[in-house]
Chain A
């Protein structure tokens, strides 16, 4: 699913990376615990979270996550935005809570196609 479609489904505002919405994501991860995100290693993942501090961007950077959706209408602080710009990570903001945002994306087809994962999108250790 392209980020452009994610933006439309979640009625989201783009805070960073308006010109990079052609990026594709294959799967999403919804969590407010960064250590749990760090335990979840897959390719081309979209992160949905209600946490807005700069370490969310760091976590995304380590995981090669290219886009983040901040849920519940939370506005990240300027340091978070600046770090996302520096690290080339797209930031979206939606008013939906985490559960609804994940549900909308899943029901619109962002399900992490198992066959695709078998073909190597999922990294196994």
Chain B
């Protein structure tokens, strides 16, 4: 099953709606609730990042019986140092973003924590691509 979403970079109220819809679909498909929660959190962090840092973008979701593969593509400013951005607590967020409760430097670490595979490719001035894979049948340890 393939799903596509356009994330509006100007509407903070709507940020998270794509994650919400995917969560609903996974529930209907009968995926275990702890796995759904991991996917929802990783996806929501990525979606919020897109809205706050990159003025929105596109989300492609591919659900197969064994895994969910999500691709976030934006045309934002890009990430200068991905390794640094992966560190807990590191953030380039503005005061405005922080006032909203984000920008704690936990977005990318949370995506990594809750996904089975995370791949980030970015080019300065061109945009960022975030790929998340979560296996749907793997037992949690």
Contact = CB atoms under 8 A, between A and B. Distances in A.
Interface of A: 32-36, 38-39, 41, 49, 51, 53-56, 58-59, 61-64, 79, 83, 87, 123-125
B23 A61 contact: yes
Given A53-B100, A123-B34, A123-B140, A62 B113 contact: no
A32 B101 contact: yes
Interface in B73-117: 100-107, 109-110, 113-114
A64 B19 CA distance: 13
Interface residues of B, number: 30
A55 B45 contact: no
A61 B37 CA distance: 9
A110 B77 CA distance: 45
Contact of A55 (B40, B102, B109): B102
Given A61-B20, A123-B37, A125-B140, A35 B104 contact: yes
Interface residue SS majority, chain B: helix
B117 to A, nearest CB: 14
Interface stretch (B8-16, B58-66, B124-132): B8-16
A121 B94 CA distance: 37
Nearest to B100: A53
B110 A38 contact: yes
Contacts of B44: 38, 58-59, 62
A51 to B, nearest CB: 5
B101 A56 contact: yes
A31 B131 CA distance: 29
A58 B16 CA distance: 6
B101 A79 contact: no
A111 to B, nearest CB: 23
B65 to A, nearest CB: 21
A38 B34 CA distance: 13
Given A41-B41, A123-B34, A61 B16 contact: yes
